[in-house]
Structure 1
């Protein structure tokens, strides 16, 4: 992974209109590889009304074509894991993680509207719009099985906002450096209007992206954290990301750390940790930590389901 400032601090957070990025969105695809033809829908069978397939497949959800990838087999009462990439990223960035996890369970991922090989949205999207697409995907590829949502960056925020209204199906959460609950307020506090240069650009780009200037046309609104009850929730934070922002690195790190702690309010069984040696792409820099956390939450969810 490129360790330069533009690739990790700016571009690794939000994919902006001109290809640069800002805080907390996702960024450029890291270590991604396109699916080969042999991987496309390599096998399928019917299971409880759900077409269980392996590889990639396009499905129709809410009038859109949505690109989905699934692998592995469901085991006993274990939930299916749904991986959710960050903003500006397609499911390809989750492929190595999916490959590792699917050795002992069922794992899927999908491109949200505007990302990867899915259709572009027709207009601005709210969290409810994104949730309807996620519900449609889960209906088609998971069915009535319980699910663990494991999201990076913006994918983590969407997972955390979705879960409280879908307690019947979401039985665990893993948030990998998830976008914080109140990013617009946080960035305005961390980088004041008097800032100039790189810091001011970072603030302005972040706010613009939050208003919908991103590939998904997704409006990222600040909101309080809502409880999802007592499901297992693992929150993983990066170790270092903002050290190269002149004058404002420490304030940005405090903002991000405070936001990660706010996600603890999701559940009575929430815990937080820092992935040593990682930047924003926790699952790329420390896949061992990401895999361990997802396996642990999935096992806990299976025991209590």
Structure 2
């Protein structure tokens, strides 16, 4: 089959895995007490603290590990800090253009997870709890007392959606851009039989390998249920080009399951909306940057409007 089609199909199921020569599927975490391994809320500085106001890239220390962070834009009262969470195999540079555009109205930060970009390599296998603790360290450093909007792509969207329910005091909005489905691993192994050969067999095998930690982050990512983060404004964006359906034999069912998974993410909030990014592939923030920008700005604006009496509370 066409190599580009194969690469695109696998990328849609997760994202590029740098340095492995192929792409793979990453998957949601099980409910292990939260995306950072505990139900504790993210701690932050005292009242009036806006966090670290640096602009550009900076290395920060999180639990003794060096994490590369980039921030742009100025923070103002009541406005949330937008934190971008890239997909597996992507460093913060992948979202640099999106960050620059968003920084015209909000302070926007991105970061390299351990094993990506300029951050330290993980010392061994990582769990979703581990990657959640790194995210907590970044949020605490860049946001201070300000609320946060998480905008994640692919596996980054899954990480954001798994993290938000246990950090409702800080995460006040979500934008999920073609987020990895919470049942992708089960879907792929159910749709593509173990007996499959050729490109389909490769896709199945690669997916299993990546979900077991054979990726730049050594991140093990098992399936899990979608949990609610309450009433935070949430925008779910899914790709509009149904190229998964072109994958031989199993494509239509993979596309159907992917779409179903995107709608399932709506359960992460009672205040969620779903939008199809027409004419977009998996990288919505590249193919339809306008839609990604408007969605993030819309969620950030709603958080700003509700900040006075709603921030810090779980209510409507």
The number of aligned residues is 282
Give 2:4's aligned residue. Answer: 4
> Following superposition of structure 1 onto structure 2, how do residues 1-305 of structure 1 map, counting pairs within 5 Å?
4-11=4-11, 13-16=14-17, 18-23=20-25, 48=49, 50-239=51-240, 240-305=242-307
* Rounded Cα–Cα distance in structure 2 between residues aligned with 1:213 and 1:231: 34
The question of whether the paired residues in 1 share the 8 Å contact of 2:50 and 2:75 is answered with: no
- Give how far 1:230 is off: 0.3
SS in 2 for 1:52: coil
- Give how far 1:207 is off: 1.2
- Give how far 1:259 is off: 0.8
- Give how far 1:294 is off: 0.1
* Rounded Cα–Cα distance in structure 1 between residues aligned with 2:101 and 2:58: 20
- Give how far 1:22 is off: 2.3
SS in 1 for 2:173: strand
Relative to 1, partners in 2 of residues 1:227 and 1:74: Cα closer, same or farther, differing over 3 Å? same
The question of whether the paired residues in 1 share the 8 Å contact of 2:50 and 2:146 is answered with: no
The CA deviation string for residues 107-141 of structure 1, in whole angstroms up to 9 with x for no partner, is 00000000011001111111111110000011111
Give 2:314's aligned residue. Answer: none
The question of whether the paired residues in 1 share the 8 Å contact of 2:72 and 2:100 is answered with: yes
Give 1:30's aligned residue. Answer: none
Q: Which has the higher strand share?
A: 1
Normalising by structure 1, we get a TM-score of 0.89
- Give how far 1:24 is off: 5.7
4+ residue runs over 4 A deviation: none
Normalising by structure 2, we get a TM-score of 0.86
* Rounded Cα–Cα distance in structure 2 between residues aligned with 1:295 and 1:50: 21
- Give how far 1:204 is off: 1.1
The question of whether the paired residues in 2 share the 8 Å contact of 1:15 and 1:215 is answered with: no
- Give how far 1:200 is off: 1.4
Structure 1 unmatched runs, 5+: 26-46
SS in 2 for 1:4: helix
The question of whether the paired residues in 2 share the 8 Å contact of 1:230 and 1:269 is answered with: yes
The question of whether the paired residues in 2 share the 8 Å contact of 1:241 and 1:280 is answered with: no
Structure 2 unmatched runs, 5+: 28-47, 308-316
